[in-house]
Amino acid sequence: MNSQRVLEDTVYFGTGALGYGMMEISCRGYTHPSMLLAGGLCFLTIRGFSGLRRSFPIKCALGAATITSVEFLFGCVFNLALHMKVWDYSDQPLNIFGQICPKFLLIWYAVSAGGFLLSKCMDRALKKPVFKGSKKPDFKISVRRCRL
């Protein structure tokens, strides 16, 4: 693994961690450090799925399944084993051990759609810098260039 890939993965992980943390704070008013780790891992995985030759709805389904799996794993560790009470879906219909439920699977589908678009734009921005007369790169992001 080369240093450029490590740097890119670090940027993606940080974006996912901060993005999910901010999303959770805006919805619940707080977050837990473990959710930053989960957000970073999920966004790295979504980035990996971006290269698949599958339809966009299938990619979003894979993203939602991945996020739900990470949520279940983290829930079993942080909520059930360590009793940290990070979240509890026990009051949601069809929940599994209070850690995952269909309502949030649908939400993660929508979050995945945004994640794929952001990942595509970041890929283009990080891999195609535009140099303008100086040695410092000027990264430009154009939504028109970020077609899925």
Q: For the chain, what are the domain ranges?
A: 3-145
Distance CA 116, CA 56 (A): 9
Mean per-residue pLDDT, 3-7: 87
Bridge partner residues of 130 (DSSP): 138
Please state the pTM of the whole predicted model: 0.84
Q: What does the pLDDT look like over 137-147, one tens digit per residue?
A: 555 555 555 55
- List Cβ<8 Å contacts ≥24 apart for 97-100: 99/71, 99/72, 99/75, 100/68, 100/71, 100/72, 100/75
Is the pLDDT at 130 greater than 60? The verdict is no
DSSP-based three-state secondary structure for 130: strand
Furthest-apart CA atoms within the chain: distance in Å: 59
The tokens describing 3, both together, are 């240093």
- What is the pLDDT, as a whole number, of residue 127? 75
Q: What does the pLDDT look like over 61-95, one tens digit per residue?
A: 999 999 999 999 999 999 999 999 999 999 999 99
Q: What does the pLDDT look like over 104-123, one tens digit per residue?
A: 999 999 999 999 999 999 98
- What is the pLDDT, as a whole number, of residue 140? 53
Helix H or strand E segment including 57: helix 56-74
Identity at 27, one-letter amino acid code: C
Q: Read off the DSSP letter of residue 19.
A: H
